[in-house]
Structure 1
Amino acid sequence: MLLSDGTGLSRLVKALAGIALAGALAGCQVRPLYSTPSGTEGKIASVSISEAGDRVEQQVRNDLIFLFTGGAGEPQNATYHLEMDVSVRVVGVLNDVSTDTMRAGRVIVSADYNLTQSDSGETLASGKRTAAAMVDFPAQEFAKLRAIRDAENRAAREVAELIRADVASALSRR
């Protein structure tokens, strides 16, 4: 009688669907995008970074040191080493035809990186990350240079955050 009127059957189906959904969600792992799994903070804080060759590479390096250690500085006995090569391009994208000058542009910062284990030299992660920052070119030369520098700093910070996410991902798998 319970199954013959249809209401018991729909309750049974709903109950089974609820149990199946709960079982499927039990295997899910949800965590914030920029969080680090437990144990990864210690690993990421023991990454040394190669010396910089120019101002923008130094900016990326400084941002990475801060992101890796939370402002504590570089580790004394690093377990991992991050080798970087950073390049910068300034590209004009909006040309004023009457004066033949660029009015707006893009600063593109690219970084090739290689994360290795310090003792064995084994490569754990490598790749290339690129970030672009838009910039307006004012008529005054000093203001133009300052705008380009600000755009370089913004793009360098973004590249550092991308590399940090890659390094954290590689170290969480170890």
Structure 2
Amino acid sequence: MSSSEIGRPGALRGSRLMLAAALLAAATAGGCFQPLYAENTRSVTGGSIKDAFKEIEVPEMKGLIGHYLRNELVFELDGGNEPDRTKRLKFQSQISESLEVVTVDYANGRADSAILVATANWSLTDTTSGKVVSQGMNVVRAPYERSSQRFATVRAARDAQIRAAKNLATLIRGQIAADLFAG
């Protein structure tokens, strides 16, 4: 409220009215919120989203990023707790990686840093009907420093691959959850 409005008797009442209307709108919209990972959230495959996650089979994948991505997905989807559970959904993925050189030290001609770009094209298929339930393409970037010490650079590159796989797993899990939501 500006100093010129202080003397006006209706200005204070109008702002209180607007505040009350905003609070009423927020209160009524608050009842519409439903947590995605709650036990009572239904999925398109039947059951809850958590149960649908436990029904996803994640097969072995090629490459180091594929290996770490599979491990992260298995952990994020079912925690690895129920190996005997029937798997109704099958996850398939093609993973590619490339390297972007960011800075180059022109004195010795070496790259000082690089960015690992990991791309995953994936799909989730219902094994009983053959229908694709969810699919997507996710891209993550993981920067790392390159050193004149060869083994330090190799370790930094591997750490970047592990970070990229973890980030991909988180993105894929979120997208699968959103696609499985039957709301």
- What is the TM-score normalised by the length of structure 1? 0.82
Counterpart residue identity of residue 135, structure 1: Y
| Maintained 8 Å contact 2:89/2:125 | yes
Q: How many residues align?
A: 166
* Corresponding residue number in structure 2 for 1:155: 164
* Corresponding residue number in structure 2 for 1:135: 144
Q: Equivalent of 1:94, from 98, 103, 106?
A: 103
Structure 1 residue 131: Cα displacement: 0.8
SS in 1 for 2:115: strand
* Corresponding residue number in structure 2 for 1:111: 120
Q: Does residue 1:36 correspond to 2:37, yes or no?
A: yes
Structure 1 residue 155: Cα displacement: 0.8
Structure 1 residue 52: Cα displacement: 0.9
* Corresponding residue number in structure 2 for 1:126: 135
Q: Does residue 1:61 correspond to 2:70, yes or no?
A: yes
Counterpart residue identity of residue 25, structure 1: A
Deviates more, 1:49-58 or 1:74-83: 74-83
- What is the TM-score normalised by the length of structure 2? 0.78
d(CA) in 2 for partners of 1:102 and 1:18? Answer: 55
* Corresponding residue number in structure 2 for 1:17: 21
Unaligned runs of at least 5 residues, structure 2: 1-8, 40-47
Structure 1 residue 77: Cα displacement: 1.7
Unaligned runs of at least 5 residues, structure 1: none
Structure 1 residue 87: Cα displacement: 1.1
Over 3 Å counting, the alpha-carbon distance change for 1:75 and 1:106 in structure 2 is: farther
SS in 2 for 1:95: strand
d(CA) in 1 for partners of 2:103 and 2:22? Answer: 57
Counterpart residue identity of residue 153, structure 1: I
Q: RMSD between aligned alpha carbons?
A: 2.8
d(CA) in 2 for partners of 1:83 and 1:116? Answer: 8
Superposed counterparts of 1:163-174, under 5 Å: 163-173=172-182
Structure 1 residue 51: Cα displacement: 2.1
d(CA) in 2 for partners of 1:137 and 1:50? Answer: 33
Structure 1 residue 75: Cα displacement: 5.5
